[in-house]
Amino acid sequence: MAAARSPHGLSSPVIIIGAGCIGLTTAVALLRRGFPVLVLAHHLPSDPLSPDYSSTAAGAHHLSFAASDDWRQRYLDVKTFDVLWSESDDRDEGLHKGVMRLTQTELYKGDLHLRLLEELPDFRIHDAATLPDGIEHAVSFSSVTIEPARYLDYLVRTVTSLGGTLQRVPRLDSLAQARSYAKSPLAIVNCTGLGARDLAETQDKTVVPVRGQVLRVRAPWIKTGWTRQVGALGGAEGGERTYVIPRASGDVILGGTRDADDWEREPRPETTADIVRRALEICPALAHPPHATEPFDVAGLVVSEVVGFRPTRADGIRLEAETVRLEGEDVGAQGQRQGEELTVVHNYGHGGYGWQCAWGCAEEAARIVGEEVRRKGVKGGPAVLLKAKL
């Protein structure tokens, strides 16, 4: 497939592997910088839910897990919050994209809030005398919640409107296979998530699934987000975390679980019952719809039970460039030599916080691509490079 020529004269595309929230935001960031983009994906946002495609299984509210001294993660999270907050500035436009502002309350037992939360609008610490039984600390602030399907659809529309191409492909086993879809790509951006475990050139077994199970319930009277953290957060995967996340559609996500290296794809009934119990402890209003004369059975509100595999990496997000020599793949049909070197920018390993840092990671990945293209040069010479927003 030959990519369309960009306004800056660049005809060879940047290939992005993966069309989750990470891959699609990266595509938009690159397109806005003037790069032609080809997104290759086995699973597209419009496909039925799958545990392997965690973007649509996520709770998807913006709640940073960045430790006080983790400046890179703080930057990525703040950048993403700023984009989402700006998109929700016009309420109607925000709701069209599935982004809704709300008040978020965090309840803690055995831990304190992360300092980054203090930078969010309307932050306040609750008076200890007002805390519910079993809670040692609580804070509230304003944040945003995201309707994944709606926002992913917005990203797809943005990619195509900016001239990018999305193509469904069989599951790729190697970067060499990706390269066969476009002649002489400028670079490949690896947004494969859990797929990085098996991609021939990465074989990153430090990426493991952290299984999450959530419930989608219909409860449009719930307008405030609630989270309870019992025990240390430990970089997003520690302790027991219970959450109630309202969405613009009137649905509410109840969760959750964190089960490392658990590949069970089907919902567990006992987990569903436990989630309902815990959600009612932090948000009793779930059982009290407006005008109801007696408590409602929340189990009757459940629309679906959803399982997702968070692509969690032991050392956190991998966001860097690497020069890779393609091996063992015959790409001669495209006139390319086996064993040729290629710039790969990795953008994977986001665990359970992909939605919290997607735009920050996308902008950083696009910046790295620009630096690598400028460093190595592109066909068309220096004049082309000066025009592109590298």
Binding site for D-dopa, residues? 243, 310, 352
Using the Cα atoms of residue 251, residue 123, residue 283 and residue 112 in order, give the sign of their dihedral: positive
Among 361, 355, 304, smallest CA distance to 145 is for 355
Rounded-to-integer distance, Cα 196 and Cα 221, Å: 40
Task: Tell me whether strands 225-230 and 240-246 are parallel, antiparallel or unpaired.
Answer: antiparallel
Could you tell me if 165 and 37 are in contact, meaning their C-beta atoms sit under 8 angstroms apart? yes
Rounded-to-integer distance, Cα 104 and Cα 142, Å: 6
Q: Which residues are annotated as a binding site for FAD?
A: 169, 192
Give the SS3 label for residue 322.
strand
* Terminal CA-CA length for the chain: 25
**Which amino acid does the sequence have at 171?**
R
Q: Which residues are annotated as a binding site?
A: 169, 192, 243, 310, 352
Distance of CA 117 to the CA centre of its chain: 19
Q: Which residue is associated with the tokens 């407006």?
A: 290
Using the Cα atoms of residue 13, residue 41, residue 208 and residue 173 in order, give the sign of their dihedral: negative
Rounded-to-integer distance, Cα 186 and Cα 199, Å: 20
Angle between helices 71-87 and 354-376 (to 10 degrees): 110
Could you tell me if 126 and 140 are in contact, meaning their C-beta atoms sit under 8 angstroms apart? yes
Task: Tell me whether strands 165-168 and 37-41 are parallel, antiparallel or unpaired.
Answer: parallel
DSSP state of 61: B
Task: Annotate 73-111 with DSSP letters as a single string.
Answer: HHHHHHHHHHHHHHHTSSHHHHHHHTEEEEEEEEEEES-
Q: In what order do the strands lie in the sheet with 318-325?
A: 165-168, 37-41, 14-17, 187-190, 341-348, 318-325
DSSP state of 241: E
Rounded-to-integer distance, Cα 180 and Cα 95, Å: 39
Rounded-to-integer distance, Cα 204 and Cα 254, Å: 31
